[in-house]
Amino acid sequence: MIRNPILPGFNPDPSIVRVGEDYYVATSTFEWFPGVQIHHSRDLENWRLVARPLDRASQLDLRGDPDGCGVWAPCLSHDGQRFHLVYTDVKRYGRTTTAGASGASLRDFHNYLVTAETIDGPWSDPVHLNSSGFDPSLFHDADGRKWLVNMLWDHRPGRNRFGGIVLQEYDPRARRLIGERRLIFKGTPLGLTEAPHLYRRGDHYYLLTAEGGTGWNHAVTMARARSIEGPYELHPDVHILSARDRPDAPLQRAGHADLVETPAGETWMVYLCGRPLSNRGRCVMGRETAIQKMCWGADGWLRTEAGDGLPVVEAERGPSIDQREDFDAPGLAIDFQWLRTPEPEAIFSLSARPGHLRLYGRESIGSLFTQALVARRQQAFCYSAACAMDFDPAHYQQAAGLVCYYNAAKFHYLHVSHDEALGRHIRVMSALPDAPQADAFTAPVAIPPGRIELRCEVDYERLRFAFRAEGQAGWTWIPEIFDASILSDEASAPGLPNFTGAFVGLACQDMAGTARPADFDWFAYRERDYAAGPTGLDWPAALSRLGAGPMLRA
């Protein structure tokens, strides 16, 4: 049975390709480095993260990219000889007032192509394709020609910012686009036309796009033409997948799709989706990737199996993750990423103290340039995370600890610091996107010197922190319950794109510029049962069964 979402908690904008019996899905990574994540499957059900291809400065440098920008909408394809990966690096987003209809007019989108003979590389240095818009996709036609499509950004006053889909030929020998670009599809009245993919079936070229924006109005639109340059006629139903008129659907925000055909001739669609909390309407798992079987009709058009155009859930979850990283290997596990910099040696080391991840204190948490924050994605509604840390701060400009992070405007950070009155202490700093005061702090708690263990427990929209100092038998719980739902797209930070999803991980700052380090002996991430639902789980009892120590008072 296909599990939907097939990539729980993983970023959206999926692109899928089949090579022989192997399926690969590439998804966006935004400001997180290394760029792009690729999952592999043999059965379209069980998926494993196998590659992050953009892993060096010559391919990608995200320093200065605003939150939610960076790598958008990678498209992975194969021409029979090698893999091709095209992607956008978004350098400027600007201030928005509505979902793309107005607001910042000038934006910078740079589209690139890298190639590799195998999925695990090595991947080439990039070829710059264009900067006319985002969501590039490369189509390999049967005659050997290659075509790039992308959405066109129109900054002119009074114009539709989403100016339609443009087509241009790519010459692999010259390694550049050739000929004139042509506008082949202006979109429908739903607007916000983006995420184009081209396919050829029979006598027609099929164009798949996303419309309605990446929120609640998201939809998959299809059109076809007998010539690749058009004219393109709309599908009789216009939109072949959407939940925009069905607030009861368990998968919302469905759109930004791609198609793959199995050896048996079945057609499957991968697409972006979100699972909102029933009591808050926020998708704390971010935008996820789902998959659904589709059917071609006698009229030559694609539809869902039920013909209703709705996203479906076959099963709500797969196996739970219970993972511990002891930092004994020469490199980080593939699950971990960091923010923006292509120079990881500037922010962490696995050799400076063997068996530990050493984070060098860098810029403030939320910096757009060089901050020492190493994290993994949240992949379940309920999870536990913990770490053991050695950190001896000299003053209040130095801090390190465990963070639940969305972006610079949305995080909860359990950290150890120092001041002249209290000495070494621990507290939580929260960045709150929808509160009168953007930064909030809990009261500091004095702690003794030495190793300390930190922990967080997330249950849907509820978050608790605890710590255990060296020699302490039980956990000391921070008394406050924190709102984990702010770590979502829907908890809007005005003027910023909200796309990335929630992470949990380790951080270290030294705003005095002396690179005071913190050493982490281990990090653990464990998913917990959430079958009882967001209001039905006996949270304190569940934590007690996990060995949490004192019962929490929720």
- The tokens describing 531, both together, are 């079958």
Using alpha carbons only, what angle is made at residue 225 by residues 219 and 227, rounded to the nearest 5 degrees? Answer: 140
* Sign of the dihedral defined by the CA atoms of residues 287, 19, 126, 138, in that order: negative
Closest listed residue to residue 87, CA positions, set 5, 34, 28: 28
194 belongs to the catalytic site: yes
200 exposure class (CB count in 10 Å sphere: 0-12, 13-18, 19+)? middle
The answer to whether the CB of 455 falls within 8 A of the CB of 465 is: yes
Q: Which of 13, 390, 461, 519 is catalytic?
A: 13
The answer to whether the CB of 147 falls within 8 A of the CB of 169 is: yes
User: 191: how many CB neighbours lie within 10 A of its CB?
Assistant: 17
User: 510: how many CB neighbours lie within 10 A of its CB?
Assistant: 24
CA distances from 497 to 8, 65, 382 (A): 21, 12, 25
- The tokens describing 229, both together, are 């340059």
The answer to whether the CB of 416 falls within 8 A of the CB of 362 is: no
519 belongs to the catalytic site: no
Per-position b or e across 46-73, b if 16+ CB within 10 A of its CB: ebebebbbbbbeebbbbbebbbbbbbbb
The answer to whether the CB of 391 falls within 8 A of the CB of 356 is: no
What one-character DSSP code corresponds to residue 95?
Answer: -
The answer to whether the CB of 240 falls within 8 A of the CB of 221 is: yes
Using alpha carbons only, what angle is made at residue 267 by residues 266 and 272, rounded to the nearest 5 degrees? Answer: 145
Q: Which of 31, 65, 67, 194 is catalytic?
A: 194
CA 172 – CA 77 distance, rounded (Å): 14
Catalytic site positions: 13, 194
